[in-house]
Amino acid sequence: MSDSISIASPADFHVHLRQGKLSELVTPHVREGGFSLAYVMPNLTPPIKSTKDALDYKTRLESIDPHVDYLMTLYLSPELTPEEIRKAKEAGVVGVKSYPRGVTTNSDGGIESYEAYYHVFEAMEEVDMVLNLHGEVPSDAAADIHVINSEPHFLPHLIKLHARFPRLRIVLEHATTRAAIETVKSLGSTVACTITAHHLALTVDDWAGQSWNYCKPVAKYPDDREALREVIREGHPRFFLGSDSAPHPVYNKSTASPSHGCAAGIYTSPILLPLTAHLLESFDALDKLEGFVSTFGRSFYGRPVQSEQGAGLVTLRRVVRKVTSSYSRGEDIVSPFWAGRELGWEIVPRQ
Q: How far is CA 21 from CA 61, 71, 111, 245, 333, in A?
A: 12, 21, 29, 17, 11
Q: What's the length of the chain?
A: 351
Between helices 118-127 and 82-91, what is the axis angle to 10°?
30
Active-site position among 29, 97, 162, 288: 97
Q: Residue 285 in contact with residue 277, Cβ under 8 Å?
A: no
Residue 244 bears catalytic tag: yes
The candidate with the shortest Cα–Cα distance to 54, out of 14, 87, 30, is 87
* CA–CA distance, 152 with 49 (Å, rounded to integer): 28
Q: What is the DSSP string of 39-78?
A: EE----SS---SHHHHHHHHHHHHHH-TTSEEEPEEE--T
> Is it true that the peptide bond before 46 is cis, omega within 30 degrees of 0?
yes
Active-site position among 12, 224, 244, 332: 244
Active-site position among 14, 29, 58, 288: 14
Residue 198 bears catalytic tag: no
Residue 16 bears catalytic tag: yes
Active-site position among 16, 29, 216, 220: 16
Sign of the C-alpha dihedral computed for residues 30, 129, 288 and 231 taken in this order: positive
Active-site position among 29, 49, 134, 199: 134
Residue 260 bears catalytic tag: no
Residue 248 bears catalytic tag: no
Active-site position among 29, 162, 174, 198: 174
- Write out the E strands in 212-274: 239-241
Question: Catalytic positions, please?
Answer: 14, 16, 97, 134, 174, 244
